[in-house]
Amino acid sequence: MTVAVYPGSFDPITKGHMDIVERAAQIFNEVIVAVVINPNKKPLFTMDERVEMIRMASAHIPNVRVESFSGLLVDFTRKQGARAIVRGLRAVSDFEVEFQMALMNKRLYPEAETVFMATHTDYAFLSSSMVKEVASFGGDVSDYLPPSVLTRVAEKYGDTVWGKAPAR
């Protein structure tokens, strides 16, 4: 059984993230979406809220589970019995940082491989930070978030995030 870990802060999870989750779930027997506790970031959503949103957004994928962790990714990956780390790439600029992390992870946990997945072109520009910024200024982010996540973002920023046609 091949288990993969897809780590990130997912604050919030976007359709771009979900594209990677869905595609990884077609390749691996089990995909663990690993929500990292990053002390250097001030998240919009609590850890529990992020885990809950990802569980709701991925409920249709039977071989996906969602966990949170702190500390080194390789320690979490090893503890889960995973042999793959999935990373999404939006642009060439992502590759340099991701490649360095992959090399360090390989040194720390040689049995694990990092698998890079190019994002769908519809989401190549998309990030959680961008979604939060647009939403904070009253912009429509309904095309970029799973419906259950959009509801939670609307609770934080107001109904303007729905755009012209409410997705409720």
* Of 104, 101, 137, 122, the residue nearest 15 (C-alpha): 122
The one catalytic residue in 15, 50, 58, 128 is 128
- Please confirm, yes or no, whether 152 is among the known catalytic residues: no
- Residue 121 main-chain phi, psi, to 5 deg: -60, -25
The one catalytic residue in 23, 83, 90, 156 is 90
Place of tokens 């190549």: 124
The one catalytic residue in 17, 50, 132, 152 is 17
- Residue 13 main-chain phi, psi, to 5 deg: -70, 140
Residue list for the binding site: 9-10, 17, 41, 73, 87-90, 98, 123-129
* Of 63, 73, 92, the residue nearest 35 (C-alpha): 73
d(CA 73, CA 64): 18
- Please confirm, yes or no, whether 93 is among the known catalytic residues: no
**Element holding 105 (H helix, E strand):** helix 92-108
Residue list for the binding site for ATP: 9-10, 17, 88-90, 98, 123-129
- Please confirm, yes or no, whether 168 is among the known catalytic residues: no
- Please confirm, yes or no, whether 90 is among the known catalytic residues: yes
Residue list for the binding site for substrate: 9, 41, 73, 87
Helix, strand, coil percentages, rounded to 5, for the chain:
45, 20, 35
Active-site residues: which are they? 17, 41, 90, 128
